[in-house]
Amino acid sequence: MSSREHWASRAGFLLAAIGSAVGLGNLWGFPYKASANGGAAFVLVYLAVIALVCLPLLVVELLIGRRTGESPVLALAMVGGPRWRWLGYAMTLNAAVILAFYSVVAGWTLLSAGRTLLLGLPADPAAFFSSISQGPLAIVGHLLAMLFTAGVIALGVRGGIERLSLWCMPLLFVLLVAMAIWASTLSGAGEGYRFYLQPDLQELLRWPTLTSAAGHAFFSLSLGLGAIITYASYTQGQEGLGCQAGMIAAADTAVALVGGLITFPLVAHFNLLGSLSESTVGTLFVAIPTGMASLGGLGRWLAVAFYGVLVLAALTSAVSLLEVSTAAFIDRLGWSRRRATTLAVAAITLLGLLPASDSRWIDVLYTVFGETGLLFGGLMLALLVGWGQPRLEGEAPLVVRRLLRWLGTPVLLVLLVQSLLHLPQVVAPLLQS
Ligand code: TRP
């Protein structure tokens, strides 16, 4: 264990964990899902799930990682006994599948940023987006994103992940706040805010709203698949876990809310709210550049900043997903970091060719692995810690265990069943063709 890597500083760990949480889920998924699912109603469910279910689980993942100093497979076996090892494998596989499509979307942001920086905004954003969202260019984007992610992970915990987070996260925050302030000065900002947050309380009573808000909360916080366990396994300190969990959740939620404060005023200002209601995955990749183009030369640089934020957010998250698989090879098989990274990247890159060639796979993989899979992982952790006898040396705070037992377990069970029932509907379009 002495050879195991560690973060150089507490701030480094926190920024890395926040970097994992803050990602495309916040800036691209959250605003668009909120507006499509009842605005403030979605936000309310989201906040409730974060406070009551996700926060306790976040504490648990941090605790498991720190206590065991191992990645999920060994960590869960140590905490729950060998019978729980399978959950670690399931989480590791889930991380690999999520990265396979996540890296495709990260590729869209890289290509959009690169194109805007080098050549300016495309004349026809819709055509440009459809050319990069699936097919050869999407594969190029996917390869670039995987290459970058692999490079960071090969450099290790301190030299790669921590260094990346220390640079990227502050830059991301500054850019985000600056853009939100700028967006608030646009005419139409008020209309955008209303569209974003107008509560449609009837939505609160629909299962899809509830499951998508809850699933999204897990995805956004990187919960339910051992990414936080893995990152926390490189920490040593004694600091309050509740405090760390609170900071990660607060930063993640703040970025999600601010993300919407940028996109909706912009979309309203450019009169594109109508096109949003068709809410396809690509709306923001089309709506934003369309609007920015009308601002002339300035628009190009604003678009570069906008895509730059997306790139930073996407890469720091992709890195955390890859670390789960890499750490599993290192810890389980004793491989060198280089070898582990190479094998994990090769497998995930291959798998990603599917969503890169046909973007309908992204929705399907997201729902199956990014929503249902994470709810399942969360439920298993709630069972282990809330009902089982986890070997955590009496350290799982009693509130956390009670919350997971009496609230987390039933809530997750119901949500999981609902989301399983919903799956055939999501997969059907793919099977029909
Ligand atoms: N949380 C990231 C986002 O919001 C995605 C992500 C990174 C993730 N690591 C994860 C999701 C682990 C689930 C589990 O975009």
Q: What domains does the chain contain, in order, with CATH numbers?
A: 10-432 (1.10.4160.10)
Atom 14 (ligand 1) nearest CA = 222
Residue 203, token pair as written in the block: 């939505």
- pLDDT score of 92 more than 50: yes
Straight-line distance from the first to the last Cα atom of the chain, in angstroms, rounded to the nearest whole number:
51
- pLDDT score of 59 more than 90: yes
* Beta carbons within 8 Å of 335's beta carbon, 6+ residues apart: 329, 343
**Which atom of ligand 1 is least distant from the CA of 252?**
4
Q: Is the CB of 320 under 6 A from ligand 1?
A: yes
Predicted local confidence at residue 278, as pLDDT: 52
The rounded Å distance from CA 263 to ligand 1 centre is 21
For 202, which DSSP code?
Answer: G
Question: Average pLDDT in the 398-416 region?
Answer: 95
Predicted local confidence at residue 1, as pLDDT: 44
Mean pLDDT is lowest, of 193-207, 255-269, 304-318, for: 193-207
- pLDDT score of 277 more than 60: no
Q: How far apart are CA 3 and CA 368, in angstroms?
A: 37
Predicted local confidence at residue 53, as pLDDT: 95
- pLDDT score of 372 more than 70: yes
Q: Is the CB of 161 under 6 A from ligand 1?
A: no
Tell me how long the chain is: 433
**Which atom of ligand 1 is least distant from the CA of 317?**
7
For 366, which DSSP code?
Answer: I
Helix (H, G, I), strand (E, B) or coil at 296: coil
Question: Average pLDDT in the 292-301 region?
Answer: 88
Mean pLDDT is lowest, of 133-147, 277-291, 308-322, 378-392, for: 277-291
- Look at 290 and 53; give whichever has higher pLDDT: 53
Helix (H, G, I), strand (E, B) or coil at 388: coil
Q: How far apart are CA 378 and CA 358, in angstroms?
A: 29
Predicted local confidence at residue 430, as pLDDT: 81
Q: Is the CB of 74 under 6 A from ligand 1?
A: no
Q: Is the CB of 230 under 6 A from ligand 1?
A: no
Q: Is the CB of 409 under 6 A from ligand 1?
A: no
For ligand 1, mutation pick of 58, 315, 317 (most atoms within 8 Å of CB) = 317
Is the CB of residue 284 less than 8 Å from the CB of residue 68?
Answer: no
Cα dist from 126 to 132, 256, 257, whole Å: 10, 25, 26
Predicted local confidence at residue 272, as pLDDT: 78
Q: Which residues of 305-337 are buried (b: 16+ CB within 10 A; e: fewer)?
A: bbbbbbbbbbbbbbbbbbbbbbbbbbbbeebeb
Q: How far apart are CA 364 and CA 265, in angstroms?
A: 30
Q: What percent of the chain has pLDDT over 90?
A: 71
Predicted local confidence at residue 275, as pLDDT: 67
Mean pLDDT is lowest, of 224-233, 269-278, 341-350, 423-432, for: 269-278
How much is the mean pLDDT over the chain?
91
- pLDDT score of 2 more than 60: no
Q: Is the CB of 24 under 6 A from ligand 1?
A: yes
What is the CA 225 to chain-centroid distance, rounded? 11
Cα dihedral angle (24, 27, 33, 35), rounded to 10 degrees? -170
Q: Is the CB of 267 under 6 A from ligand 1?
A: no
Predicted local confidence at residue 433, as pLDDT: 65
Q: How far apart are CA 362 and CA 104, in angstroms?
A: 8
Atom 6 (ligand 1) nearest CA = 222
The rounded Å distance from CA 201 to ligand 1 centre is 28
* DSSP run (H or E) holding 313: helix 297-333
